């Protein structure tokens, strides 16, 4: 019977269909239209309001290769936003596993911008426009210590340069010169910044988190303790599109591309579930 054949589809066929549903949109990217969540727009607006001559954007990360597909595009989108607006960007890693990923993101976005730069002024210069402070354990030490002096916690950057020798660090001393700290995480780093840095020093905090962590942070967005959030790959894709449409940035928008593959996989799963249920009830009726 045809219905029985549908119920007993070889699992290898299903695995092959799922592989194709994911791989094809990645090989041939489709930029799907999507709505923007209020929390994503709030984060974008907050960063868009920073005065680059008086304050910087700080990106703090604690993600690892396990959550890179969701978290790395968030970091790159924030870097593009800061560079496009001329806002200095400071970055740090709360865990050592994420430091190399952060260095890759910085290098990649700097190349994007410098490839099309026409002068020294509109180039992205390390030390003037961006600084990677590096990694300092344990997380509570840099979170609290930067309120007293960023250079005290990070006397050298990730590359071994003295931070007090870098141009932008001549006027960035502590959280007073930080417009917002955006914590990119697979865990709870945004809450650490809210509990310790915001409570004691009053710095604004934003979040970029994996989808599974997002429900924990929505109440903090509602209360205003978080200025905004990128929730999962969709949040990263929304932010990528906001930056691209506003500033016409270049470079691959990996979260946007990933949404097409994720959506195709979800549609396939729903179709298979529907077919399975129809076949099940059809065979029951026949028997």
pLDDT digits (tens, 9 = 90+) for 43-70: 999 999 999 899 999 999 989 999 999 9
Domain that holds residue 270: 1-31+253-287
Nearest to 106 by CA among 69, 67, 133: 133
**What is the Cα 135 distance to its own chain's centre?**
18
**Element holding 230 (H helix, E strand):** strand 229-231
Q: Tell me: the pLDDT tens digits for 231-260?
A: 999 999 999 999 999 999 988 888 888 888
Q: What is the pLDDT of residue 1?
A: 55
259 and 220 share a domain? no
- What is the rounded average pLDDT for all residues in the chain? 92
> pTM of the full predicted structure?
0.89
Under the phi-then-psi rule, with left for phi > 0, alpha for psi from -120 to 50, and beta for the rest, what region is 130? beta
Q: How far is CA 40 from CA 84, 177, 226, 287, in A?
A: 18, 23, 11, 52
Is a pLDDT exceeding 90 seen at residue 4? no
Task: Identify whether residues 64 and 89 lie together within a single domain.
Answer: yes
How confident is the model over 5-22, as pLDDT tens digits? 777 788 898 899 999 988
* One domain for residues 114 and 9: no
* Residue 184: per-residue pLDDT: 97
Q: Which of 23-32, 85-94, 114-123 has the highest mean pLDDT?
A: 85-94
Q: Are residues 185 and 274 in the same domain?
A: no
Residue 178 pLDDT: 98
Whether residues 93 and 197 share a domain: the answer is yes
**Same-domain check for residues 10 and 65:** no
Tokens standing for 59?
Answer: 């990106």
| Nearest one of 174, 184, 224, 189 to 204, comparing CA atoms | 224
Q: Let me know whether 86 and 23 are in one domain.
A: no
Counted domains in the chain: 2
Q: Which residues pair with 182 in a beta bridge?
A: 59, 206
In the predicted model, what is the mean pLDDT of residues 211-224? 95
Shared domain for 108 and 162, answered yes or no, is yes
Whichever domain contains 59, its CATH number is 3.40.50
In whole angstroms, what is the distance from residue 37 CA to residue 120 CA?
37
If asked whether residues 144 and 198 sit together in one domain, one would say yes
Q: Are residues 187 and 237 in the same domain?
A: yes
pLDDT single digits (tens) 74-90: 999 999 999 999 999 99
pLDDT given for residue 287 in this prediction? 66
Q: Tens digit of pLDDT for each residue in 175-187?
A: 999 999 999 998 8
Say if residue 188 is in the same domain as residue 278: no
- Among 115-119, 166-170, 256-260, the least confident range: 256-260
Q: Which two tokens stand for residue 141?
A: 């030490």
Tell me, yes or no, whether 22 and 87 share the same domain. no
């Amino acid at each position: 019977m045809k219905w029985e054949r549908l119920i007993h589809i070889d699992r290898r066929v299903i695995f092959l269909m799922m592989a194709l549903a994911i791989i094809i949109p990645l090989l041939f990217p489709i930029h799907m239209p999507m709505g923007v969540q209020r929390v994503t727009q709030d984060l974008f607006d907050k960063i868009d309001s920073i005065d680059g001559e008086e304050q910087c954007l700080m990106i703090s990360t604690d993600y690892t290769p396990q959550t890179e597909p969701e978290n790395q595009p968030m970091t790159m989108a924030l870097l593009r936003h800061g560079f496009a607006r001329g806002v200095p960007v400071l970055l740090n890693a709360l865990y050592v596993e994420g430091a190399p990923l952060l260095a890759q993101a910085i290098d990649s976005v700097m190349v994007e911008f410098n490839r099309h730069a026409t002068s020294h002024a509109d180039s992205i210069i390390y030390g003037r426009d961006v600084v990677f402070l590096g990694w300092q354990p344990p997380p509570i030490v840099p979170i609290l210590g930067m309120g007293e002096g960023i250079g005290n916690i990070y006397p050298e950057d990730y590359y071994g340069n003295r931070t007090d020798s870098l141009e932008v660090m001549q006027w960035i001393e502590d959280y007073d010169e930080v417009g917002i700290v955006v914590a990119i995480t697979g865990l709870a780093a945004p809450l650490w910044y809210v509990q310790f840095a915001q409570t004691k020093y009053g710095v604004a905090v934003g979040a970029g988190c994996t989808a599974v962590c997002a429900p924990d942070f929505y109440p903090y967005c509602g209360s205003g303790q978080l200025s905004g959030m990128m929730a999962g790959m969709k949040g990263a894709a929304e932010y990528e599109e906001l930056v691209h449409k506003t500033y016409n940035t270049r470079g691959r928008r990996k979260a946007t591309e990933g949404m097409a593959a994720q959506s195709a996989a979800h549609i396939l799963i729903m179709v298979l579930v529907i077919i399975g249920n129809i076949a099940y009830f059809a065979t029951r009726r026949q028997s």
